[in-house]
Amino acid sequence: MIWEGTKMRRVVLLALLALALPMAAWADGIDLINQYGSISASNAGISSTQSQLKGFNGIHAPAGHSLGSVSFTTGALLSGSLAAGGTFSATGSSFLVTGNGKYGVPKGTIFSGSFVGPISWVLVSGSGHKTLTYSLTGAIQGMLYTGRMVTGTTTQTIYSTAGQLAQGIGHIRGGDTHLTAPEPGTLGLLGTGLVGIAGMFRRKKTV
């Protein structure tokens, strides 16, 4: 009976360790890729619509398909200008990633959060170009679909023309987002599992 109880405890600890290992793998982060869609832009802020989620942590959508959607909003312009580039506020901002449940991607909200700190809006093409290209970059934080709080960064490449931008119209060429889950809890769980299993083997050896 004592041996059976010891064996059961070892099985439980091995199960905990098995759960901890994939969590440790996620500690390096989650990479998201989005393409297409449009933005509406003014001094009151920037908001996106219909940008397609094309990549989720190594899973890529087949040609002509998507894995879900990505949408974001910023706060008001703090400095600079919409045409020349500047900085937007994170106040009242949002960043939402949803999955469609296909190709191994979770269905529903994958990430729900907002920008934190100033959001950079940089003209990268030069003002003399017919097509104006901007880079929108900022730090984000929020809740992952697993229930964990994560932080990260996103960079969205947006293009327009002088005439369209004057009307507040822009288009999303693509975006890259990297989310990072805090590691201490994961490493603590992994360490607890290893210590527990080591203890089991040590007790068995001394019996």
- pLDDT at residue number 128: 77
Q: Is the pTM of this model over 0.75?
A: yes
3-class DSSP assignment, residue 201: helix
DSSP state for residue 111 in the 8-state scheme? E
Q: Return the percentage of the chain with pLDDT > 70, whole number.
A: 73
Q: Is the pLDDT of residue 197 over 80?
A: no
3-class DSSP assignment, residue 71: strand
Instruction: Return all residues near 36 (Cβ < 8 A) that are at least 6 apart.
Output: 50, 51, 52, 171, 172
Give 28's pLDDT tier (boundaries 50, 70, 90). Answer: low
Q: How far apart are CA 60 and CA 105, in angstroms?
A: 10
Of 201, 205, 191, the closest CA to residue 16 belongs to: 191
* Torsion 57-61-67-69 (CA) sign: positive
As a whole number, the mean pLDDT across the chain is 84
Tokens of 41: 């832009």
Convert the pLDDT of each residue in 132-185 to its tens digit.
999 999 999 999 999 999 999 999 999 999 999 999 999 999 999 999 976 554
Q: How far apart are CA 188 and CA 44, in angstroms?
A: 44
Q: Is the pLDDT of residue 198 over 90?
A: no
Higher pLDDT, 42 or 9: 42
